[in-house]
Amino acid sequence: MADQRIKVEFEGHIAVITAARPDKLNAFDIEMLKALSGACDEVEANAEVRVAILTGEGKAFSAGGDIKAWGGMTPNEFGHAWVRFGHRVFERLATLRVPLVAAINGHALGGGLELAIAADIRIAERHVKIGLPETGLGMVPGWSGTQRLVRRAGAQVVRRMALGGEIFSADEAAVLGLVDKVVETGEAVAAARDYAARIAARGPAAVEVAKLMIATASGEDNGTAVEALGSILVAKTGDLKEGLAAFSEKRAAKFAGEW
């Protein structure tokens, strides 16, 4: 049975992924990470989806990693079963074929911010606080807080959060580029739906390719982006049709250089 703490709903061209563990402020354990990876698979498999929304149930967006889930692990378990696995899942989320809009309806601290930064567009409610408090616990960000977050928001902003322990308001975060838009409390999901509809109305193929091109330019997912774009291009050529026909007919291919 699927973990009900990660919900996936499809609304026409929009997919909504919700972390649904409100009693724990939507903090993640291993099973939720697995379910989030499965949610990405569901979104990818639905050809009708053009954009996805990520949010949290209740008053929180996500408190990040559940301390009880990793607090008793050995260093080896912590580094591999927790940090590396979570990193892979968040990478999966960040590289969805469709744009991802985060509706940050509650505080995004530590792993919660790392979750939010995986999105292409971030909309935060005004009361939200944003930061990386890990070093105050004697640990470091582990789910790309010093990697993807640096690429997307800049090293100096991350230094202020990770080294200085600064916590930013939503309005401050918008000025710093951590979020793209600030709305009033209770309005993040509706605003995300509006923005998602805006994306869904545009050319889906062009949007998907543009996301890959931006990923390449920003140094993210270069290998996947280049090979995906190249494969899409080649898949439309007459040469590929001839190559497949020749293979099926057990003859030598006669390529005409047809694009």
211-229 tens-digit pLDDT? 988 988 888 766 777 777 7
- What distance in Å separates the CA atoms of residue 18 and residue 3, rounded to the nearest whole number? 12
Type and span of the H or E element at 129: strand 129-131
Identify the pLDDT of residue 247: 86
Identify the pLDDT of residue 222: 65
Identify the pLDDT of residue 206: 93
Active site residue ranges: 114, 134
Q: Which two tokens stand for residue 9?
A: 């709903």
Asked if residues 27 and 19 have their Cβ atoms less than 8 Å apart, the reply is no
- How far apart, in Å, are the Cα atoms of 66 and each of 19, 38, 82, 146, 254? 13, 19, 11, 19, 59
Identify the pLDDT of residue 235: 80
- What distance in Å separates the CA atoms of residue 224 and residue 95, rounded to the nearest whole number? 9
- Intervals of the chain under pLDDT 70: 1, 221-222
Q: Which amino acid is at 241?
A: K
- What distance in Å separates the CA atoms of residue 75 and residue 164, rounded to the nearest whole number? 25
Taking each continuous run of H as one helix and of E as one strand, the counts in the chain are 12, 9
Identify the pLDDT of residue 83: 83
| Reported pTM | 0.90
Predicted confidence (pLDDT) per residue in 47-100, tens digit? 999 999 999 999 999 998 888 877 787 888 888 888 888 889 999 999 999 999
> Where does residue 212 rank: exposed (0-12), middle (13-18), buried (19+ CB within 10 A)?
buried
Type and span of the H or E element at 246: helix 238-249
CA 152 to chain centroid, in Å, comes to 12
